[in-house]
Amino acid sequence: MIKKKLLIFILLAIVSFSGAATNNKKINSTKSKFIKSLIKEMTLEEKINQLNNVLSGGDPDATAKKEAAWVKAGAGAVFNVAGANLARKYQKLAVDSTRLKIPLLFGFDCVHGMRTIFPIPLGGAASWDLTKIEKSEGIAALEASALGVNWVYAPMVDVCRDARWGRIAEGAGEDPYLGSKIAAARVKGFQGSGLNEGRSVASCVKHYAAYGAVESGRDYNTIELSEGTMRNIYLPPYKAAINAGAPSLMSAFNAYHNIPATCNSWLLKNVLRNEWGFKGFVVSDFEAIAELIPHGLAADSMDAACLAINAGLDMDMKSNIYIKELAKLVKMKKVKESAIDEAVANILGVKYDLGLFENPYLYCDSVKERTDVFTSANRNIARDLAKSSIVLLKNKDLLPISKSIKSVAVIGELANSRTDMNGTWIGLGRGEDPVSILEGIKSKIPHADVKYAEGSKVRSASSMDEALEIAKNADIVILSMGEYGWMSGEGQSYANIELPECQMILFRKLKKMNKPIVVILSNGRPLVIPEVADQSDALLETWFLGTEGGNAIADVLFGDYNPSGKLPVSFPESIGQLPFYYNQLPTGRPLYERPDDPLRSIYRDIPNKALFPFGYGLSYTQFKYSGLKVVPDGKDGLIASITLENVGNRGGEEVAQLYIRKIPSSISQPVKSLKGFQKIYLSSGEKQIMKFNVSKDDLKYFKEKEGWIFEHGTYNVFVGGDSENTVKGEIVL
């Protein structure tokens, strides 16, 4: 009887799966027929217009008349339009003015929130909480769609190993595995269960490819990578985002193998289309087609258009070169009309999936703009992710602070700044929206004597007298240090990422008073802070946490939330170590062997290790790892199990991390590579066996001239709370 029921269940499952597959084929067939039919009706000029992404100048009836002319001509997309009524006005212009009534895409840089601002992406990555990250992007999509936006230029998935690059703030840090998981979570958050829901938006993954590898951390700079490094380190997050359903990508400014990504057919055709089977469209970055001229590949705008379209770049952002040059290039037979047809089909396919042909005004609902934006529910979700993003770097039994404390001195310009809590790329966030650190602290301990003094500005000195006076009479000093919110992001590369001397002078003066000092770092990148790390009594990395930042920081300071964040990027000991990352290749003279021998791969003046390593983060409790066991899974993969125990006196969350290394290998492998992580909550005294499944595919690596390969042999397995402090095991597969 049981076998009969099981057989019936299997047959029903097969029928159901077959039905779903058949239904998907019908949907795709209907979509394909619709788009082919529409393209047949289009003139060459109408096709080319669809490849144009116009920068909005405001209201098309007033300040944006030039942009309105492009829309009337049939432009494919407009970006920086925000507001349901404004979007409706543009959409009506497109639909009413064009012969075929093709609707517009409305693009916007929704990097970490639209109106409710979440932690910067690097901060959110520090949560290692894929569920919360996905949920935050769901709220960003809800607000963006209510404000007329249906296409967001996010997520940024560039792996970055050099903290001098300002745009490290926009990504998930230095690791391809963590970056891939977060890329997929962000795409799923933006797109929900379907693009035509009216509350989901199409994601645009950027910047394809390896923009985070720019030399010396200088924005827009060149990169120099082997194909193996590109494949093993930098490409995986893009592929993960595409596998999660991302329908568009943005090409990068940089060149790869001397060919800018904007016209790099290896990236845009060989890898993206032929290998990965990508069906969506690729848009250039801002005026990047025009930049092929200073890159030295194009003599003029006609050359630039020819190179880009023939390489597989579908849409031109802002430079308007396609709309000026493509028709001439077709007539000259330098560009086939079929190449333009393909680009148009890719763009129209995304519009179809968004439901815009059925209802062009799906994202132009002014009622949703009033009901779905900047709500208390949205802010609660922002606060939840913000708390999880804070990393406790040091604690000499000072935190959490008792709420019965009598007096607190809060010092530093950033502590009293709302606008800096937003960080970079703040969508439609407002400077007055966030809760400041000072406000968060005061709300948590309303009966305490909380005094504030600036002490020092971020980059220039001010009077320290008041700060030193309030510190003298306080039970504890909370010192806010770091960067202004605008000091990370695009165009914000710095050769020096140390804290400015004006802040350090204040820190040293306060330290001499022998008061317990909690340092709160607000920053969009790892900073070089060895003195602060050594001399502070407690140190919190809080990034830029967004709208609810001050409340989230107070939740951690006073113990309402036990910090659980882990670093998604290494903090270097010195600027001279950059670029710095945990998963480096070994040398023939290893760092940690023969410690008395100077002829090793070391610096002679500083420790050759991270100040705080990748994956690092403390808690108000302690966790113990023991009993690591590694067995084969029967499919050339492995299963690792380890006992995790909370040996402290309060409950807390821990991110257990698994790393592997194949040794020996046919090519040199990183000393460790992250291949799994789990975040769980354990009560005081509770223990749990953690299991990690690492598949054969997870163990593959790219070898030039051979492709992706798996090798049998010995694998080292490391499990622990960060990339350095691990329990080691071994298995032969």
pLDDT tens digits along 559-605: 999 999 999 999 999 999 999 999 999 988 776 666 677 788 888 88
What's the rounded Cα separation, in Å, for the pair 121 and 142?
A: 18
pLDDT tens digits along 164-200: 999 999 999 999 999 999 999 999 999 999 898 889 9
What's the rounded Cα separation, in Å, for the pair 65 and 57?
A: 8
What's the rounded Cα separation, in Å, for the pair 726 and 419?
A: 40
CA terminus-to-terminus distance, the chain? 40
10 Å CB burial of residue 229 (0-12, 13-18, 19+) is middle
What's the rounded Cα separation, in Å, for the pair 359 and 3?
A: 49
pLDDT at 604: 85
Q: Both 663 and 528 in a single domain?
A: no
In a domain, 694, yes or no: yes
Q: Which residues pair with 481 in a beta bridge?
A: 521
Q: Given 577, 598, 633, which residue is the final one in a domain?
A: 577
Name the DSSP class of 258. Answer: T
Q: Which residues pair with 208 in a beta bridge?
A: 251
pLDDT at 414: 98
Q: Both 531 and 391 in a single domain?
A: yes
Q: Both 482 and 572 in a single domain?
A: yes
Buried b / exposed e along 125-162 (16+ C-beta atoms within 10 A) = bbbbbbebbbbbbbbbbbbbbbbbbbbbbbbbbbbbbb
In a domain, 218, yes or no: no
| Residue 527 dihedral angles phi and psi, to the nearest 5° | -110, 155
Q: Which residues pair with 644 in a beta bridge?
A: 625, 688
* Higher pLDDT among residues 25 and 384, named by residue: 384
Q: Both 519 and 666 in a single domain?
A: no
Q: Both 434 and 571 in a single domain?
A: yes
pLDDT at 13: 40
Task: Give the start-end residues of each E strand in 111-152.
Answer: 151-152
pLDDT at 431: 97
What residues are labeled active site? 285
Report CA-CA distances (Å) from 564 to 117, 391, 542, 656: 21, 7, 12, 11
- Which range marks the domain in which residue 11 is found? 1-30
Q: Both 536 and 668 in a single domain?
A: no
**CB atoms closer than 10 angstroms to residue 556:** 27
What's the rounded Cα separation, in Å, for the pair 567 and 127?
A: 8
pLDDT at 601: 84
Q: Chain centroid to CA 253: how far?
A: 18
pLDDT tens digits along 656-709: 999 999 999 999 999 999 999 999 999 999 999 999 999 999 999 999 999 999
In a domain, 175, yes or no: no
Q: Both 572 and 633 in a single domain?
A: no
Report helix, strand or coil for 68.
helix
Q: Both 406 and 498 in a single domain?
A: yes
Report helix, strand or coil for 682.
strand
**CB atoms closer than 10 angstroms to residue 495:** 10
Q: Both 455 and 552 in a single domain?
A: yes
Confidence of residue 313 (pLDDT cuts 50, 70, 90): very high
Report CA-CA distances (Å) from 637 to 240, 266, 547: 20, 31, 43
Confidence of residue 427 (pLDDT cuts 50, 70, 90): very high
| CATH label of the domain that carries residue 639 | 2.60.40.10
Confidence of residue 15 (pLDDT cuts 50, 70, 90): very low
| CATH label of the domain that carries residue 571 | 3.40.50.1700
Q: Which residues pair with 681 in a beta bridge?
A: 653
pLDDT at 595: 65
In a domain, 504, yes or no: yes
| Residue 4 dihedral angles phi and psi, to the nearest 5° | -65, -45
What mean pLDDT do residues 63-74 have? Answer: 86
pLDDT at 63: 74
Closest CA relative to residue 160, chosen from 221, 105, 234: 234
Q: Both 570 and 498 in a single domain?
A: yes
In a domain, 452, yes or no: yes
10 Å CB burial of residue 683 (0-12, 13-18, 19+) is exposed
In a domain, 6, yes or no: yes
In a domain, 190, yes or no: no
pLDDT at 10: 35
pLDDT tens digits along 144-167: 999 999 999 999 999 999 999 999
What's the rounded Cα separation, in Å, for the pair 262 and 285?
A: 8
In a domain, 702, yes or no: yes
10 Å CB burial of residue 409 (0-12, 13-18, 19+) is buried
With tokens 């209802």, the residue in question is 359
10 Å CB burial of residue 112 (0-12, 13-18, 19+) is buried
Average the pLDDT over each of 56-60, 122-126, 262-266, 658-662 and give the range with the smallest value: 56-60
What mean pLDDT do residues 310-326 have? Answer: 97
CB 702 within 8 A of CB 666: no
Name the DSSP class of 262. Answer: G
With tokens 């003046």, the residue in question is 605
What's the rounded Cα separation, in Å, for the pair 680 and 689?
A: 11
Q: Both 627 and 572 in a single domain?
A: no
At residue 335, does pLDDT exceed 70? yes
Q: Both 508 and 388 in a single domain?
A: yes
> Which residues touch 126 (CB under 8 Å, ≥6 apart)?
119, 388, 389, 390, 391, 541, 543, 565, 566, 567, 568, 617
At residue 16, does pLDDT exceed 60? no
CB 49 within 8 A of CB 316: no
Is the dihedral angle over the CA atoms 548, 554, 557, 562 positive or is it negative? negative
**Number of compact structural domains in the chain:** 3
What mean pLDDT do residues 436-462 have? Answer: 97
What mean pLDDT do residues 633-638 have? Answer: 96
Please give the structure tokens belonging to residue 347.
């763009």
> Which residues touch 383 (CB under 8 Å, ≥6 apart)?
548, 551, 552, 555
pLDDT at 592: 62
Q: Which residues pair with 289 in a beta bridge?
A: none
Taking all residues of the chain, what is their mean pLDDT, rounded to a whole number?
Answer: 94
Name the DSSP class of 680. Answer: E
pLDDT above 90 covers a percentage of the chain that reads 90
What's the rounded Cα separation, in Å, for the pair 91 and 95?
A: 6
What does the H/E/C string look like for 335-375? CCHHHHHHHHHHHHHHHHHCCCCCCCCCCCCHHHHHHCCCC
Please give the structure tokens belonging to residue 221.
């700079």
pLDDT at 600: 81
